[in-house]
């Protein structure tokens, strides 16, 4: 079974630039999550999708972050404009029915 796929793996941008991350979950997993992980911390949820519906986006900074999951499969997370404090690893995970989660390799974002 293929795992969660994310791209790009690394991204370096200057502040105020836009950036987008892509995630393809494990086949058959209806729940998709985007997390942000800072060094020395655990992942923090940004948004959770059940199929194509965003059921929890309470931690998503909506002034600059947006996400979509068209057709309930792939998802993209966008930041526009990026700030220095957005430097982190952005992790995508998927699960069946919001249970045990499986993570992708993450995108390491550096904002200069």
Taking the complex as a whole, the smallest distance from the CB of residue 74 to other proteins amounts, in Å, to 18
Taking the complex as a whole, the smallest distance from the CB of residue 16 to other proteins amounts, in Å, to 27
Q: Between 79 and 91, whose beta carbon lies closer to other proteins?
A: 91
Distance from chain centroid for Cα 9: 12
Q: Between 14 and 44, whose beta carbon lies closer to other proteins?
A: 44
CB burial class (10 A; 0-12, 13-18, 19+) of residue 35?
buried
Q: Are strands 107-111 and 10-13 parallel, antiparallel or unpaired?
A: parallel
Q: Between 12 and 18, whose beta carbon lies closer to other proteins?
A: 12
* 20 close to 6: Cβ distance less than 8 angstroms: no
Q: Between 13 and 45, whose beta carbon lies closer to other proteins?
A: 45
Residue 35 three-state SS:
strand
Residue ranges binding other proteins (CB under 8 A):
33, 35, 40-45, 48, 56, 91, 98-106
Taking the complex as a whole, the smallest distance from the CB of residue 75 to other proteins amounts, in Å, to 16
Question: What is the C-alpha R_g of the chain?
Answer: 13
Taking the complex as a whole, the smallest distance from the CB of residue 20 to other proteins amounts, in Å, to 19
d(CA 29, CA 43): 20
């Amino acid at each position: 079974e293929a795992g969660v796929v994310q791209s790009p793996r690394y991204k370096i941008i200057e502040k105020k630039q836009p950036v987008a991350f892509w995630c393809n979950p494990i086949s058959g997993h209806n729940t998709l999550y985007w997390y942000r992980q800072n060094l020395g911390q655990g992942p923090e949820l940004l948004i959770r999708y059940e199929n194509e519906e965003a059921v929890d986006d309470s931690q998503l900074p909506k002034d600059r972050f947006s996400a979509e999951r068209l057709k309930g499969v792939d998802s993209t997370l966008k930041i526009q404009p990026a700030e220095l404090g957005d430097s982190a690893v952005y992790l995508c995970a998927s699960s069946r029915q919001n249970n045990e989660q499986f993570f992708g390799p993450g995108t390491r974002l550096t904002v200069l």
